[in-house]
Structure 1
Amino acid sequence: MRTTHKNCDSLGRRLRGPQNRYVWFWAFVGPFAAGLALFTYVPLVWSVWLSFFDAHNTVTPTEFVGLDNYTEILSAPSFTSSLTTFAVFSLFIVPATYALSLALALMVHRLRFAQAFFRSVFFLPTACSYVVAAIIWKLSVFNGVRYGLANTVLGWFGGSDIAWLSTTSPPWYWLVIVTVRLWLQAGFYMVILLAGLQRIPATLYEAAAVDGARPGWQVFRHITFPQLRATSVAVVLLLVVNAFQAFDEFYNLLSTAGGYPPYARPPLVYLYYAALGQGQNLGLGSAGAAILALIIAVVTVIQARWFGLGRRED
């Protein structure tokens, strides 16, 4: 008995660590880890499990259907069309956001005064909700009547009013969707790129000046941009993943009392209506979510390998 008690005390001391550090670690991390497992990982596993069942109006189905949900959603024209919408959205938003964020980072980095002020100003829209920003864009900026900001500016130059969100030829709704996303996220990626700029040694610029490099484009092309390679790769990866997850701005900008229009429907909007629409086919929606997660993982890995993320630089 005495040996068992001694072993238990020894095990307890090892679990607590020196000066009870492990106890304090789990006291702070434990609730977060439990919440993450309960509200993130358990629903993810449950969704994958649900995708193999016929789950109409229930999250506890009993009829196993195998891969039927995956076959059905992959053969649905609306789902493949939503993937096309994502591709178009990515072609607009990824390079535009990167270019704008890099331009803002370069501008703030070169400031000699009030740098913190301008960094905060450009970062501030990141704190705004996507739902609130979409409503502001829809009701105040691109609301389609002559009192909207965009149409007011057009009127100054003699232009006619445009129904921005309902005009499909030309598709003006892309301008609304892309600009609200640019306004919301450019400041966040500006901060990341700004941190990358601040890590570039000043000696590189001094050596370039000694070698006769002209300040401006030449220095940016041969020194600044190559030194930002790792940061730029991380930013592009985050932009692509965020583009896959686009939902709030699309739904709140384009949906009306009559429902969502058939155009500009990204994958998450399609899955929302598939799982929570009239049929409430949660099995089909879960299958689509699993396919979308797999696509995101594959695209991220391909991008990381292509850009050499994590590769040791010479």
Structure 2
Amino acid sequence: MPPAVLRSPKPKATRRQRNRTLWFWVFVGPFAVGLALFTYVPLGWSVVLSFFDAHNTVTPRDFAGLGNYRRILSDPEFRSSLTTFAVFSAIIVPATFALSLALALAVNRLRWAQAFFRSVFFLPTACSYVVAALVWKMSIFNGVRFGLANTVLGWFGAEPVAWLATTHPPWYWLVIGTVRLWLQTGFYMILFLAGLQRIPVRLYEAAALDGARPGWQTFRYITFPALRATSVAVALLLVINAFQAFDEFFNLLSDARGYPPYARPPLVYLYYTALGQGQDLGLGSAGAVVLALVIAVVTVVQARWSGLGRKEE
């Protein structure tokens, strides 16, 4: 018989390793439990509700199958909300992208007080969307002659404009677009600024030796291609955030009479469907699932089209 092979026992975990594991769960555990209870459980239950007839209750018994999905997809108001999102994203995504990139380029070229201007442009991101929307609504684009915008128009002899109530032309897009630009441009400027500071200086030195002119030519052939990964990430975040627009729309356009029939993004539509007079939680949950699937599809298509994750050649 072959001699028995003696196996050395596995070393036991040291006290320091056990302490590390213990303190890891002490700090991470409460956040993990909170994330599960207040995020994943509600998400899962929302999917369950979407298959039930849930009026004024979160514990329904009447199974509806795909009925809620057929109702939500055939509802013209829901399709109109998706059109509102398309218009909003067509306005805010390229405008924020271009403005944040321009600010990043300007701040990156500064030789002095760069930290000051970086903080100044980033500061609006700390402001609440609700507060900013009320400032825009009550002070800047007030529909009476005392608003800042109408005061400026009055200097040139123009009549006051009801910015949020005029639909032909739809001046409310100017109000919604400018408040979102003011709130989020600084954040994406920081992302672009981080990308700019990672570009090796030797690329610009080599381009100068090859005769490249500073300015547009350098930006087109060196700076912008080097920012490809950052640009793709910014574009993805902008589209996802546009889908999630709610605060500025609701606080700008709603009043004591309710919300107007125009400019309803998907989340505003779902808010009134699930929490309005009918409180159809099943239909609202089906709309939320459809919206989540749309966001996922758009994100994947955009990532594939832009080559996100593809190895650089």
Mapped to 2, the partners of 1:294 and 1:46 lie a distance apart of 16
Mapped to 2, the partners of 1:146 and 1:303 lie a distance apart of 44
- The normalised TM-score by structure 2 is 0.95
Q: Which residue of 2 aligns with 1:7?
A: none
User: Any conservation in 2 of the 1:125–1:185 contact (CA below 8 Å)?
Assistant: yes
Task: Work out the number of aligned pairs and report it.
Answer: 304
The one-letter code matched in structure 2 to 1:25 is F
Mapped to 2, the partners of 1:15 and 1:22 lie a distance apart of 11
Q: Which residue of 1 aligns with 2:301?
A: 302
Residue 215 of structure 2 is aligned to residue 216 of structure 1: yes
Q: Which residue of 2 aligns with 1:102?
A: 101
Q: Which residue of 2 aligns with 1:23?
A: 22
Q: Which residue of 2 aligns with 1:131?
A: 130
Structure 1 residue 140: Cα displacement: 0.2
Residue 159 of structure 2 is aligned to residue 160 of structure 1: yes
The one-letter code matched in structure 2 to 1:218 is Q
CA-to-aligned-CA distance 1:4-49 (integer Å, 9 cap, x gap)? xxxxxx99x6598725211111111111111111100000000000
Q: Which residue of 2 aligns with 1:259?
A: 258
Structure 1 residue 102: Cα displacement: 0.2
User: Any conservation in 2 of the 1:53–1:65 contact (CA below 8 Å)?
Assistant: yes
Given the superposition, is the C-alpha separation of residues 267 and 17 from structure 1 closer, same or farther in structure 2, using an over 3 Å criterion? farther
Mapped to 2, the partners of 1:249 and 1:48 lie a distance apart of 27
Q: Which residue of 2 aligns with 1:179?
A: 178
User: Any conservation in 2 of the 1:16–1:22 contact (CA below 8 Å)?
Assistant: no
User: Any conservation in 2 of the 1:56–1:281 contact (CA below 8 Å)?
Assistant: yes
Mapped to 2, the partners of 1:53 and 1:19 lie a distance apart of 47
Q: Which residue of 1 aligns with 2:198?
A: 199
Q: Percent identity?
A: 79
User: Any conservation in 2 of the 1:51–1:286 contact (CA below 8 Å)?
Assistant: yes
Q: Which residue of 2 aligns with 1:148?
A: 147
Mapped to 2, the partners of 1:75 and 1:256 lie a distance apart of 28
The one-letter code matched in structure 2 to 1:175 is L
The one-letter code matched in structure 2 to 1:185 is Q
The one-letter code matched in structure 2 to 1:265 is R
Unaligned runs of 5+ in 1: 1-9
The one-letter code matched in structure 2 to 1:144 is G
Structure 1 residue 118: Cα displacement: 0.4
Unaligned runs of 5+ in 2: 1-9
Mapped to 1, the partners of 2:268 and 2:214 lie a distance apart of 47
User: Any conservation in 2 of the 1:164–1:172 contact (CA below 8 Å)?
Assistant: yes
- The normalised TM-score by structure 1 is 0.95
Q: Any idea what SS the aligned residue of 2:101 has?
A: helix
Higher mean C-alpha deviation, range 177-186 or range 157-166: 157-166
